[in-house]
């Protein structure tokens, strides 16, 4: 009876809320731009999705409700909430299918599924256990294990998705053995994914980044610079990216933790040696064991994963090479014909590649190699190998659902004008020195609310460069700092957002509960971002060079961690 009463109260409150929402929207002018028409209500879908995710711990339900509210807002014509709700539900289905039909999204989902199949095959062949045992010999303490994970993250620099799905499953058994929490592993994986790919000169990000930079400077009449040249100059001012990578090392060496992460680490250290790790709502490969009686060899992991990484780089190059030759830029075509394997040729090809297609091709090749190895070594029959491969893909299905809903929420947010509203509210008349900080914060808010770094960069870069150029009366150094603020703020917001695809994939790759990952990571991300603002972007607004800010920022990170944190090691927990 009490349960029925709760359901009734929730239903009544929901109906009243939808009615009030309809009343508010119906009173606005129909011909107004959505960001003006909805005003502060544009923040409602992402805020509801994010708040519900933390409250209910149900990511899929929270995303679904967020998308539905956005669709409801777009479908309001009158106060008939029944017909509006029906139209919103129908439109939601249409948008989800449209997201799945998008070539980029489809490629990402498919490559995630295939990598899931590869991981399961590698595990069944004993490669993952052999590799974990080998790493455990060298990474035999929590400090070494975290630093080893950090180094692996730096090595998989070319793509943030691949990083999350490769490093997490490899290092998870090592971390579990050493009593390092899944939350800390997920943080290290997530913090070496987008922050590394965003500043790597060869990655799936750089094509978008340099194209946005070049277009922004062209819009203010500056044509004597290249997007790549400006990109390189922004790297020392990527304060958040640099500080978060250094923070991982400081935290690993000191074993100091604070906030919810400290509790997670204390619980992991206190866990009994033979105690089974049970993580609710965490898709992963924990239950998969190697085939009994087989000889464990690291090559059963190195060859398939190496094929994936090397194949991805080759596929990136080939995708960009063919795109350039099929395009109309004669200078690039000439470069590809005369020096295709020179530095410029390789860089241009990688920057023009279609990352989702290239990763899918590499994952498909690695899947074939893994199946052939399993059958060739007589570990599995062909039927068993394919069955295990498909079984691994089934593990990733829940991640695919979450990604589709996150992308759908991004579409709805774009339609109702959330980003435009935030830009309009926050980009008012301001003093010049605070502009880099404001751009960083604005990028973070948009990225957090929308869950996409790419979308945030695309929205904000065309506004930030002209704004910085005008305020500084053509100061190139100041404009470069502001450009860095866009690229870095987008990554910070994406890093914190529970609806971000890289955050979701990091949770999946490490078999960590998604909301636990977000709630432990966000404290560290905000701490590092605060240092980036106070020691990085505000001084940079006054013209302080990066070689002064970076060392001071590193010292502040260390001191801040010592003040806020507490050492978590085996002796203290046992005591």
pLDDT in tens, 431-452: 778 889 988 998 898 888 777 7
Helix (H) or strand (E) run with residue 134 in it: helix 127-138
pLDDT at 573 (0 to 100):
43
| Residue 532 reports pLDDT greater than 80 | yes
pLDDT digits (tens, 9 = 90+) for 360-374: 888 899 899 999 998
Could you tell me the CA-to-CA distances from 153 to 159, 192, 248 in Å, in that order? 10, 5, 11
pLDDT at 575 (0 to 100):
37
Q: Contact, 266 vs 572, CB < 8 A?
A: no
In a domain, 517, yes or no: no
Tokens read off for 160: 């943030």
Per-residue pLDDT band at 203 (split at 50, 70, 90): low
**Mean local confidence (pLDDT), 302-313:** 85
Domain count across the chain: 1
pLDDT digits (tens, 9 = 90+) for 168-191: 888 888 888 888 999 999 999 999
DSSP, res 125: T
pLDDT at 200 (0 to 100):
79
The CA-CA-CA angle for residues 223, 229, 233, to 5°, reads 120
| Residue 320 reports pLDDT greater than 90 | no
DSSP bridge partners of 256: 567
DSSP bridge partners of 566: 257
**Mean local confidence (pLDDT), 331-360:** 80
Cα–Cα distance between 365 and 330 in angstroms, integer? 33
Q: Which of 141-150, 203-212, 462-471 is predicted most confidently?
A: 141-150
**Mean local confidence (pLDDT), 401-405:** 76
* Helix ranges (DSSP H) in 156-284: 160-177, 182-191, 194-197, 206-219, 227-234, 239-254, 260-270
Q: Which of 120-124, 394-398, 416-420 is predicted most confidently?
A: 120-124
DSSP letters for 532-556: IIIIIIHHHHTT--HHHHHHHHHHH
Q: Look up the pTM and report it.
A: 0.71
In a domain, 68, yes or no: yes
Could you tell me the CA-to-CA distances from 185 to 125, 298, 418, 506 in Å, in that order? 24, 22, 33, 9
Cα–Cα distance between 488 and 529 in angstroms, integer? 10
In a domain, 222, yes or no: no
Torsion sign, CA atoms 430, 436, 440, 443? positive
Domain of residue 49, residue span: 2-101
Per-residue pLDDT band at 13 (split at 50, 70, 90): low
Cα–Cα distance between 251 and 569 in angstroms, integer? 12
SS3 content of the chain, % helix, strand, coil (to 5): 80, 0, 20
The pair phi, psi for residue 137, each rounded to 5°, is -65, -35
| Average pLDDT of the chain, as a whole number | 81
Higher pLDDT, 263 or 166: 263
| Residue 23 reports pLDDT greater than 70 | no
Tokens read off for 533: 């603002």
In a domain, 240, yes or no: no
In a domain, 41, yes or no: yes
**% of the chain with per-residue pLDDT over 90:** 19
Cα–Cα distance between 429 and 471 in angstroms, integer? 10
Tokens read off for 143: 């400090």
Q: Is 38 exposed, middle or buried (CB count within 10 Å of its CB: 0-12, 13-18, 19+)?
A: buried
Cα–Cα distance between 363 and 365 in angstroms, integer? 5
Helix (H) or strand (E) run with residue 256 in it: strand 256-257
In a domain, 336, yes or no: no
Cα–Cα distance between 298 and 300 in angstroms, integer? 5
In a domain, 15, yes or no: yes
In a domain, 495, yes or no: no
Per-residue pLDDT band at 554 (split at 50, 70, 90): very high
**Mean local confidence (pLDDT), 541-553:** 92
The pair phi, psi for residue 272, each rounded to 5°, is -70, 155
Residues with Cβ < 8 Å from 312, sequence gap 6 or more? 158, 159, 162, 358, 359, 362
pLDDT at 32 (0 to 100):
64
Per-residue pLDDT band at 572 (split at 50, 70, 90): very low
Helix (H) or strand (E) run with residue 567 in it: strand 566-567
Q: Contact, 449 vs 43, CB < 8 A?
A: yes
Residues comprising the chain, all counted? 575
**% of the chain with per-residue pLDDT over 70:** 84
The most distant pair of C-alpha atoms in the chain lies apart, rounded to whole Å, by: 78
Tokens read off for 456: 């945030």
């Amino acid at each position: 009876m009490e349960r029925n009463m709760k359901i009734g109260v929730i239903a009544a409150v929901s109906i009243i809320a939808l009615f009030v929402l309809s009343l508010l929207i119906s009173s606005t002018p129909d011909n107004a731009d959505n960001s003006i028409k909805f005003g502060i209500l544009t923040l409602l879908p992402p805020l509801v999705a994010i708040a519900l995710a933390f409250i209910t711990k149900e990511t899929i339900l929270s995303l679904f409700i967020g998308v539905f509210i956005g669709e409801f807002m777009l479908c309001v014509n009158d106060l008939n909430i029944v017909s509006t709700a029906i139209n919103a539900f129908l439109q939601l289905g249409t948008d989800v299918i449209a997201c799945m039909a998008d070539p980029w999204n489809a490629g990402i989902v498919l490559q995630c599924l295939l990598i899931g199949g590869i991981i399961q095959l590698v595990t069944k062949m004993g490669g993952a256990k052999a590799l974990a045992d080998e790493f455990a010999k060298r990474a035999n303490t929590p400090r070494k294990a975290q630093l080893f994970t950090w180094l692996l993250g730096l090595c998989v620099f070319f793509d943030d998705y691949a990083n999350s799905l490769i490093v997490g499953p490899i290092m998870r058994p090592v971390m579990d053995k050493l009593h390092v929490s899944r939350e800390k592993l997920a943080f290290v994986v997530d913090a070496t994914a987008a922050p590394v790919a965003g500043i790597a000169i060869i990655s799936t990000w750089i094509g978008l980044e340099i194209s946005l930079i070049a277009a922004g400077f062209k819009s203010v009449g500056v044509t004597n610079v290249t997007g790549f040249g400006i990109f390189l100059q922004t790297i020392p001012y990527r304060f958040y990216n640099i500080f978060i990578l250094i923070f991982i090392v400081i935290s690993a060496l000191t074993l100091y933790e604070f906030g919810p992460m400290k509790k997670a680490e204390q619980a992991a250290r206190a866990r009994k040696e033979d105690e089974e790790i049970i993580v609710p709502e965490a898709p992963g490969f924990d239950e998969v064991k190697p085939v009994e009686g087989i000889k464990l060899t690291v090559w059963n992991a190195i060859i398939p994963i190496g094929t994936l990484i090397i194949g991805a780089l080759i596929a990136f190059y080939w995708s960009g090479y063919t795109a350039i030759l099929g395009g109309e830029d004669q200078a690039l075509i000439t470069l590809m014909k005369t020096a295709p394997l020179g530095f410029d040729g390789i860089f241009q090809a990688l920057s023009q590649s279609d990352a989702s297609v290239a990763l899918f091709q590499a994952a498909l090749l690695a899947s074939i190699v893994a199946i052939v190895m399993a059958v060739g070594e007589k570990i599995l029959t062909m039927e068993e190998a394919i069955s295990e491969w498909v079984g691994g893909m089934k593990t990733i299905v829940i991640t695919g659902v979450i990604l589709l809903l996150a992308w759908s929420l991004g579409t709805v947010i774009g339609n109702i004008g959330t980003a435009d509203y935030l830009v309009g509210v926050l980009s008012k008349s301001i003093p010049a020195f605070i502009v880099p900080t404001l751009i960083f914060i604005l990028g973070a808010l948009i990225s957090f609310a929308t869950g996409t770094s790419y979308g945030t960069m695309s929205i904000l870069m065309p506004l930030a460069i002209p704004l910085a150029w005008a305020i500084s009366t053509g100061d190139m150094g100041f404009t470069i700092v502001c450009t860095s603020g866009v690229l870095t703020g987008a990554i910070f917001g994406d890093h914190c957002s529970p609806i971000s695809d890289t955050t979701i994939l990091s949770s999946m790759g490490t078999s960590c509960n998604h909301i636990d990952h977000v709630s432990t990571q966000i404290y560290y991300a905000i701490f590092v971002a605060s240092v980036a603002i106070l020691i990085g972007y505000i001084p940079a607004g006054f013209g302080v060079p990066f070689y002064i800010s970076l060392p001071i920022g590193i010292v502040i990170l260390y001191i801040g961690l010592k003040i806020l944190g507490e050492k978590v090691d085996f002796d203290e927990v046992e005591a």
